[in-house]
Structure 1
Amino acid sequence: MSQRRIEVFWRLTGAREKHRIEPSADHLWCRDGLRGTLDVDPGPSADLERPWIKNTRHRRPPFPNAEEHLEVLHKFTKVDPQDPATRIASNQRDLGRIGRIVYRNALELKDTEVVAINDPFIDLEFMVRFLLFARYLGFSSPNSTDGRLPVQDGKLIVNGKLVTIVGERDPAAIPWSSAGAEYIVESTGVFTTTEKASARLKGSAKKVIISAPSADAPMFVVGVNLNKYDPAVKVISNASCTTNCLAPLAKIIHDNFGIVEGLMTTVHATTATQKTVDGPSHKDWRGGRSVNNNIIPSSTGAAKAVGKVIPSLNGKLTGLAFRVPTLDVSVVDLVVRIEKPATYEEIKATIKAAAEGSYKGIVEYSEDQVVSTDFIGHTASSIFDAGAGIQLSPNFVKLISWYDNEWGYSRRVCDLLVYAAAQDAKAGL
């Protein structure tokens, strides 16, 4: 079977040995934690250091390496990591916060090659710095230790491969074909409907994956409803970060105890849509207040979106959000009334079994006394905090689950893309 190319900004090459990193037991966590020499071939033991981390138990992702991640991905998506049909290339529409982190997640999957990035608002020089210093945890680069990425003929060189840089404002004018891209990650947060996102389906483009909720595109949550994927659909959504945290937890509870109804609150970290100082916000007056010194009540469609990915919960969940002045990591507070009476210990045991079994890598279970920063860089969609929940009666319980709303969510974007590529290949598309 010929190698397939997909559009987001990478291609599964199967050449793991070209950029192999074999961290020791002390070097299990990911991306910004990998500081120091991280070159194309760092050798069997990269000289990595994590000077700011005192307790890394929870900041360690479930996947210490790309191979383990692909094994977990195969379990949920039925993708064979060795199947040439799953090899992909992709292009990025925007290099905002999620765009950058999807990019860096793709690089962390050892068999990926960056193909193209489109951002009409920044030039190449700034983009280089943006990619190198993309997060607040400090310097991290896929193939640079001196604060620079190599550039050749207006293209980036990442892991020895050229990355086409585009600056088109008009989505239909982006030259995906010249980069050989087939699958697009739409990460602007603007073109979130099927009609708007379809403007990217030009040239070689076959599919668009929206990294946000969509009003009309099918939404998918890895580990929950990938079995509903239809290769014929050209635009799909990875839902929201909060839905990706809530839906697996809700499905576990609903499948085992039956959810009668529930309310969800997410205490959500700052995002780029908020204001640093008070300013006008005509549709949402509270949203115009400074994020730096306020807890801001806000709306969220995450709970209702669960009803779209789990139809049996449609109309049974709703929720709201509180935006708080933290940089990353959010937490879901789910209060549900259940049909089948159960003790809190029984509920915890059920979630733990799911996290260690069929939901491994998507849901994680913790009994430690943790706080939000312990989960920065965590790749799981939902980390259940067993010690934080409470119960009023056998049918009424509050459950708490953490999520890195940036890194964990971006990893699911990558997973959905890989799954879509494999299913499309099987369908002959």
Structure 2
Amino acid sequence: MSIKVAVNGTGRIGLCVCKILGQRDDLELVAINTTMSIDTLIHLLKYDSVHQSSEITKISENQICIGKQKNIQIISTRNIQETHFGQYGAEIVIECTGAFNDVSKASLHLYDGIKRVVISAPATDTPTFVYGVNHLSYANEPVISNASCTTNALAPLTKVLHENFKILSGLMTTIHSYTNDQNLLDSKHKDLRRARAAALNMIPTSTGAAKAIGLVMPELKGKLNGFAVRVPTPDVSLVDLTCVIEKSATKEIINETFKKASQESMKDLIFVDEEKLVSGDFIGSPYSAIFIPDCTTIVNENQVKIVAWYDNEWGYSTRLVDMVHFVGQSL
């Protein structure tokens, strides 16, 4: 029997999640809450400037089909207490608005039969999980965070490196595609650099992705930090991690370790790029991270740089759906 879910919010991640659910049999999407009109929602699900189009059918003024998902109820309210997702059979809400990023706010979903909420973003004082890294420690918490797209890419890489070589400290840079948090043209923003035109500039900015590793791998708390550079590409980002490791290594040993992990412990999560591809080749990639072996660099056997691609929209949304399915197994 499939697990019934609802999606709250239809930004870039919410739309990707809906499309991915349209391809799955193990989860049933019963309702979507959006501030868009149903016709706009259908249009943005069907056509996408970055990702492939989806099969969408309008059934009525408040119901649609997305691929395998039939009779999805469309709701339009900004008040969580008016969504009533449980009336449509939902047990889990995938919270994608960005407006309810802590336990107290997201807990407002927990009525009318809703048992779990998974937040599609970093969340304050909230149990945080990355599928493939610490998801097995999930203990039936009613509200959890799926962390950020960059943390979902960084954490599997960090786990492999730490378990095999022991990370002593590290710095991360993400070369990150622009997002809707930035401006199309120069305009006001609390971050003066993000106030500038996203498609015309490289924009240094902050990210909590490296520090958040301590939430999913407590043994690394306080040992990693980093920042981001937003660049003029619409999707797919690059994570660059430089670490001091306890166990000496060579480039060949590091690369072989990640290749083995991609076939075993991180199968379906880490992919190894042997073809020297570029960012656009990974649009729509479902992997958490795509390791680039020829970019591995070693200094003095104990300082290592590893680099990986990740689709910050589709890859992240795929892991989010995987986490939702895992949470649903406990219901």
TM class by shorter-chain length?
Answer: over 0.9
Matched, 1:130 2:44: yes
Could you tell me how far 1:199 is from its partner in structure 2? 1.1
Residues 11-22 of structure 1 aligned to structure 2 (within 5 Å):
none
Could you tell me how far 1:110 is from its partner in structure 2? 3.6
Which residue among 230, 238, 242 is the counterpart of 1:335?
242
Distance of 1:345 and 1:152 partners within structure 2: 58
Distance of 2:49 and 2:79 partners within structure 1: 28
Distance of 1:334 and 1:245 partners within structure 2: 11
| Identity over aligned pairs, percent | 42
Which residue among 188, 193, 213 is the counterpart of 2:102?
193
- The amino acid of 2:120's aligned partner reads S
Which residue among 236, 249, 253 is the counterpart of 2:144?
236
* Preserved CA contact (<8 Å) 1:368 1:387: no
Which residue among 157, 160, 163 is the counterpart of 2:65?
157
Higher alpha-carbon deviation: 107-116 or 206-215: 107-116
* Preserved CA contact (<8 Å) 1:172 1:201: no
Q: TM-score, normalised by structure 1?
A: 0.75
- The amino acid of 2:46's aligned partner reads L
Which residue among 278, 286, 290 is the counterpart of 2:193?
286
- The amino acid of 1:90's aligned partner reads V
C-alpha distance 285-420 of structure 1, shift in aligned 2 (>3 A): same
* Unaligned 5+ runs, structure 2: none
Which residue among 167, 177, 183 is the counterpart of 2:92?
183
- The amino acid of 2:160's aligned partner reads I
Matched, 1:400 2:307: yes
Distance of 1:177 and 1:327 partners within structure 2: 35
Could you tell me how far 1:137 is from its partner in structure 2? 4.3
Q: TM-score, normalised by structure 2?
A: 0.96
Q: Which SS does the other structure have where 2:210 is aligned?
A: helix
Could you tell me how far 1:342 is from its partner in structure 2? 0.8
* Preserved CA contact (<8 Å) 1:390 1:397: yes
Could you tell me how far 1:369 is from its partner in structure 2? 1.1
Could you tell me how far 1:122 is from its partner in structure 2? 1.2
Q: Deviations over 1:296-350 (max 9, x none)?
A: 0010000000011001111110000000010100010000011011111101111
Matched, 1:142 2:142: no
Structure ranking higher in strand proportion:
2
Could you tell me how far 1:151 is from its partner in structure 2? 2.0
Q: Deviations over 1:277-306 (max 9, x none)?
A: 11122x311111110110000100000000
* Unaligned 5+ runs, structure 1: 1-83, 144-148
Q: Which SS does the other structure have where 1:90 is aligned?
A: strand
Larger radius of gyration: 1
Distance of 1:188 and 1:319 partners within structure 2: 26
Could you tell me how far 1:154 is from its partner in structure 2? 2.6
- The amino acid of 2:151's aligned partner reads T
C-alpha distance 136-363 of structure 1, shift in aligned 2 (>3 A): closer
Which residue among 244, 247, 272 is the counterpart of 1:365?
272
Distance of 1:251 and 1:114 partners within structure 2: 32
Could you tell me how far 1:160 is from its partner in structure 2? 7.1
User: Residue 291 of structure 2 corresponds to which residue in structure 1?
Assistant: 384
Distance of 1:160 and 1:243 partners within structure 2: 29
* Preserved CA contact (<8 Å) 2:5 2:27: no
Matched, 1:105 2:13: no
- Structure 1 segments of 4 or more deviating over 4 A? none
* Preserved CA contact (<8 Å) 1:93 1:118: yes
Which residue among 191, 206, 212 is the counterpart of 1:299?
206
* Preserved CA contact (<8 Å) 1:210 1:236: yes
Which residue among 263, 267, 272 is the counterpart of 2:175?
267
Could you tell me how far 1:111 is from its partner in structure 2? 4.2
User: Residue 80 of structure 1 corresponds to which residue in structure 2?
Assistant: none
Distance of 2:191 and 2:231 partners within structure 1: 16
Distance of 1:176 and 1:238 partners within structure 2: 21
Distance of 2:248 and 2:167 partners within structure 1: 11
Q: Deviations over 1:339-364 (max 9, x none)?
A: 01111110111111111111100111
Q: How many residues align?
A: 330
User: Residue 10 of structure 1 corresponds to which residue in structure 2?
Assistant: none
